[in-house]
Structure formats: structure tokens, C-alpha cells
Amino acid sequence: MHRMKAVLVGLLAGWLIAAGCHRPTAPAAGTGQSAPLRVAVASDLRPAMEAILAALAYQHPNMRVEPVYGSSGQFYAQIAQGAPLDLFFSADEQYPRKLIDQGLALPDTEFRYARGQIVLWARGDSPRPVDTQGMEVLRDMAVQKIAIAHPDHAPYGRAAVAALRHFGLYELVDSRLVRAENVAQAAQFVQSGAADVGIIALSLVRAPPLSDAGRWWLIPLDSYPPLIQSGVILRRARDRKEARQLAQFVMSDEGQAILRRFGFLAAEGS
């Protein structure tokens, strides 16, 4: 077990480097400042989080934040194995609450920061009229590969499967599904041509490089369970004060306005 924990923590450390972490919001280490805030962020949130961190820098110029982006379920597993993180932004409420129940996150720090939406997306040069025909496009057997995030560990993948079932399409398309590690990778599959279409996060198609590279159809909210996205401060956090400051900024009027710009809805009242 100790060996497994060491391997997982080592993998996360390597991932932080490989994922291309956000540039610190203050001067680099070596200036006598504290270590950066280590934040795990669901991949659907990346464009919005980058905008949030840029805005945060004006209020807290000495705060440094290093986010890493990926699947909520994979982050949950790594945190459960002791990964050194301060704050977790999940694409659903399930994983933060499980961490609280397991004593790995602070129970009074959970915050519901947004409600996500999903779309059917195709590249601009695709012959598939997703913007006018919506999910009916998937009945065409010429659509050979449909990218979604893996439902086993990605909330957006579970939402995609629920939507397919709602429209009576899941059994028809199951063999054509390409399951990505996370919703951002599902978008990359379509963008690269590895898949014909994808069911991905609206937040990703509202930002470059996808915003001017394709066509999309907004999947109705009543066709999948609410994607209520939640965050929590982890018990291992080195700087709980800064973690709270980031969480509070995301929940502020300014933070919520940024999230709305990327297609998120308010979580409260959903």
C-alpha cells in the first residue's frame, strides 16, 4: 500500500509538469514567498479557470497558483492515495463529498460553484449538420466515431451517456463511442479528426481553439442529470487561508461572471 501511494504521488508530480501548469500569478519562487497553491481542476473548467486566475492576480498579487487539469474521478483516486494538493474543483458534487466523508477534505469548505452544460460538437469542415439536426445526426451510421469522456471517472462522460439514453440512442451508438480520459481529451479527439463528433462541455467550445473551429448544438438540460460542480479544500492543504481566498473569489460576483461567460449556469437554485 505504501508503495502504491508513493507511485501515485510520483505520477501526479510528473503530471503537474507534463500538463503545462498555469503560469504563477506572482513572481517565481526564490523571492522569499510561500509555496504555490496546488489546485486540481476538472478539465472542463480550464478556460474559465485561466481567466479566473488572471483576474485573481489583481486582488492577490502575491498569491501563486499552480493548477493541474484532468478527470475528476482520477483526481479523487489520487487524493485518496495522498496526493499533495490544496484545493479540488470537481465537475460534480460526488467526489468532494466522498472526500469529506473519508476525512480527506474539510467539511465546512464545500462550495457549489457552477452548473455545467454539454453540447454535440463537430469540426467546421465536417459534413455533419450538428447545429441544425442535433442528436439525430448520430443515427447516421456514417458517423463512425463519437467522442465522450469516460463515464467511469468523468462526470461529463456520465452526462453524455444519460443524454444518449434520453434520446434513445445509446444502444445504437455504443459500439461507436470513443471514451477519452476526460472531456478535454474528448474535444481533442474531434478537433484532430480522430472522432467525427463529440459530446463535450459547452465551456470548451466557448473558448479558443474550439470557439471558431466548429459547429455545435446545445443538448437540453432536461436530458441529463444536473451537472452541479463543486469544490472543496483538502485536509492536507498547506495554506488554507489562500485556498479559501481562491474559493471565495470563484464564488464572488466577479468569479461567477467569468464562469457565465464560458457557458456555466449558477449552481444554486438548479
Q: Are residues 138 and 179 in the same domain?
A: yes
pLDDT at 177: 98
Q: Report whether pLDDT(65) > 50.
A: yes
DSSP 22: P
Backbone φ, ψ for residue 197 (5° rounding): -145, 170
Cα–Cα distance, 108 to 100 (Å, whole number) = 9
pLDDT at 130: 96
127: in domain:
yes
137: in domain:
yes
Instruction: Tell me the per-residue pLDDT of 93-150, one tens digit each, with 9 for 90 and over.
Output: 999 999 999 999 999 999 999 999 999 999 999 999 999 999 999 999 999 999 999 9
Burial group, residue 82, by CB count within 10 angstroms (0-12, 13-18, 19+) = middle
39: in domain:
yes
- Collect all residues with Cβ–Cβ distance below 8 Å to 220 and sequence separation of at least 6: none
Q: Report whether pLDDT(214) > 80.
A: yes
Q: Report whether pLDDT(259) > 50.
A: yes
Question: How sure is the predictor about 33, in pLDDT bands with cuts at 50, 70 and 90?
Answer: low
Rounded to whole angstroms, the maximal C-alpha distance in the chain is 60
- The pLDDT of 145-164, averaged and rounded, is 97
Q: Are residues 17 and 42 in the same domain?
A: yes
Q: Are residues 231 and 111 in the same domain?
A: yes
Q: Domain total for the chain? A: 2
Q: Residue 220 in 3-state DSSP?
A: coil
Highest mean pLDDT among 19-23, 82-86, 160-164, 238-242: 160-164
Q: Are residues 95 and 161 in the same domain?
A: no
Q: Report whether pLDDT(28) > 80.
A: no
266: in domain:
no
Question: How sure is the predictor about 35, in pLDDT bands with cuts at 50, 70 and 90?
Answer: confident
Burial group, residue 14, by CB count within 10 angstroms (0-12, 13-18, 19+) = exposed
How is residue 208 written as a grid cell? Answer: 479558443
Q: Are residues 30 and 101 in the same domain?
A: yes
Tell me if 100 sits within 8 A of 107, measured CB to CB: yes
267: in domain:
no
How is residue 131 written as a grid cell? Answer: 447545429
Domain that holds residue 107: 2-115+227-261
Q: Are residues 174 and 242 in the same domain?
A: no
pLDDT, mean over the chain: 89
Closest CA to 87 of 29, 45, 30, 142: 45
Question: How sure is the predictor about 152, in pLDDT bands with cuts at 50, 70 and 90?
Answer: very high
Q: Are residues 198 and 244 in the same domain?
A: no
Q: Are residues 134 and 154 in the same domain?
A: yes
C-beta neighbour count of 13 within 10 angstroms: 13
Question: How sure is the predictor about 11, in pLDDT bands with cuts at 50, 70 and 90?
Answer: very low
Q: Are residues 68 and 153 in the same domain?
A: no
Q: Are residues 111 and 6 in the same domain?
A: yes
Q: Are residues 97 and 127 in the same domain?
A: no
Whole-structure pTM value: 0.87
Strands (E), 184-226: 197-201, 214-218
Higher-pLDDT residue of 32, 157: 157
Backbone φ, ψ for residue 135 (5° rounding): -65, -20
Cα–Cα distance, 98 to 93 (Å, whole number) = 9
Cα–Cα distance, 77 to 134 (Å, whole number) = 35
pLDDT at 127: 94
pLDDT at 268: 77
C-beta neighbour count of 152 within 10 angstroms: 11
Q: Report whether pLDDT(23) > 50.
A: no
Q: Which helix (H) or strand (E) holds 262?
A: none
